[in-house]
Structure 1
Amino acid sequence: MRIGDQVITTGRALEILQEYSGRFPDTIRYFDGVVACGRQPVQAPHHVTMADLGRLVVMNTNLRSNDVPRLLAVDARAEFSAVPVDARLEDAAPGSDLLAAATRLYDRFGLGDGTEDAAKRSKLLHLKRPLLVPVFDSHIERVYGPAKDRIGSYWEAARQDLLLAENVAAFDELEAELRKPLQEPPRRHLLALGRLRWLDIIAWTLGGDSEHAARSIATAGR
């Protein structure tokens, strides 16, 4: 598999996903909204709620007190309405109407510049459009930085990785493995996350050094 500028085996990808589900079950439950029967439908799909911001806390998003009223005050109903809840990143090709609409939505939630702002926006909007908006933070930047600089956009770099033939085959293999009978709940829950979130988990793990990983594990967040 190719993840950003790194290459790993499918077996290693499966290990990463399993390790993540074991370390951060609360993230999968509360941020991703995965319950026994699968991922919950998107809640309040056309506006941001306090519940959304609470879910961001589980991901160690570093929300500041003044971020909360600013995000809640954004009126993006028109922008949300222009982006279907089930829209997929794979379909957001450069120049497409979907990418243009998604970009307008993303731009409505700017808090400032830099990676921290991108992390807050991407995690928030991933909750609203989980098949379309890729999560971004400093760990992922370490893995996708060269590809982003080369291609010009992290979204497009992630989209290309989702569509890459060898990655599609690897994702198919991962799904088949996770669908095997008698799987433990954490492994079954991974199925509900979908491939875009898998891409995030794998990239985040690959981009994390020992110090960051230790901090994340200790705080039981991410």
Structure 2
Amino acid sequence: MSTEMKIAGRAIESPFTELAAYGLKHDGTVARYDLAGASETMTLGSDEIARTRIIKSRISRAQSDWFVDRSTSAPWEDVPSAANLADADPEDDGGLYAAANALYEHFRSAAPTRVADGKIHKVLHLKRPGLVPILDSRLRRTYSTRAVQAARRHPQLGARRLYWAAIREDLIDEGNMAALEEARGELSAHVDPKVQAMARLTDLRLLDAVAWRAG
């Protein structure tokens, strides 16, 4: 029997089943967005931005040019390429959470019209796949209440909603960690390469896929 996990308080009986189904249905996303090749850790190219269109980022050519230009002054060096959201404690003033937020704000604070949060998250997830969630409208709906609750637990951050903190709480939950480890083993042992490919994704991305299926 599969280990249950919880997404924003909702029980998911078989994470493996959800992840296998995601891999089979969205194999193009996994191949062309997630696993399309290693990228430079300190630069952002138009080819990477093009990859986000497979998950409906709808980033135009002009917006792509803006992302590339803006990335040249981004504080990439403050956020390790292998950074993990589980290690980004919002209570750690000046730690990884703050550095990750500064990287995100570097883009958000100067974003032109129609470059909203969803587009920025889809781009930054490619650069830091263990750290930045793909915070699209579906994930926002799933975590809306939990994000408000997380903001109340961390009032020093001055936010009404803290989606990253809420998602992190699910990521570091011991039951969820065990469920993802078990599911990863089942994915890697599966006979279908499309399902096997899911095992190469970060824990954050696996949680995202389960949440997206449940949303």
Q: TM-score range by the shorter chain?
A: 0.7 to 0.9
The alpha carbon displacement at 1:178 in A equals 2.0
The alpha carbon displacement at 1:65 in A equals 4.0
Query: Superposition pairs for residues 9-158 of structure 1, below 5 Å?
Result: 9=13, 11=14, 13-33=15-35, 40-41=37-38, 43-77=39-73, 79-96=75-92, 97-110=95-108, 111=111, 117-152=116-151, 153-158=162-167
Question: What is the number of residues matched between the two proteins?
Answer: 197
Contact 2:185–2:199, Cα closer than 8 Å, also in 1: no
The superposition leaves residues 104-136 of structure 1 with CA deviations (integer Å, 9 ceiling, x where unpaired) of: 11011122699x712111111110011111111
Instruction: Work out which structure has the larger RCO, using CA pairs closer than 8 Å and 6 or more positions apart in sequence.
Output: 1
Q: Does 1:192 align with 2:200?
A: yes
Question: SS of the residue aligned with 2:65?
Answer: helix
The alpha carbon displacement at 1:137 in A equals 0.7
Structure 2 stretches lacking a partner, 5+ long: 152-161
Question: SS of the residue aligned with 1:95?
Answer: coil
**1:2 is matched with which residue?**
6
The alpha carbon displacement at 1:76 in A equals 4.6
Report % sequence identity: 30
Letter paired with 1:27: T
Question: SS of the residue aligned with 1:171?
Answer: helix
Query: Structure 1 length normalisation: TM-score?
Result: 0.82
Contact 1:6–1:143, Cα closer than 8 Å, also in 2: no
Q: Aligned in 2, Cα 1:163/1:17: closer, same or farther, shift over 3 Å?
A: same
Give, in whole Å, the separation in 1 of the partners of 2:203 and 2:172: 11
Structure 1 stretches lacking a partner, 5+ long: 35-39, 208-222
Give, in whole Å, the separation in 2 of the partners of 1:57 and 1:103: 24
Letter paired with 1:167: N
Moved over 2 A (4+): 75-78, 111-114
Contact 1:5–1:144, Cα closer than 8 Å, also in 2: no
Give, in whole Å, the separation in 1 of the partners of 2:197 and 2:73: 31
Give, in whole Å, the separation in 2 of the partners of 1:82 and 1:189: 30
Letter paired with 1:62: R
Query: Structure 2 length normalisation: TM-score?
Result: 0.85
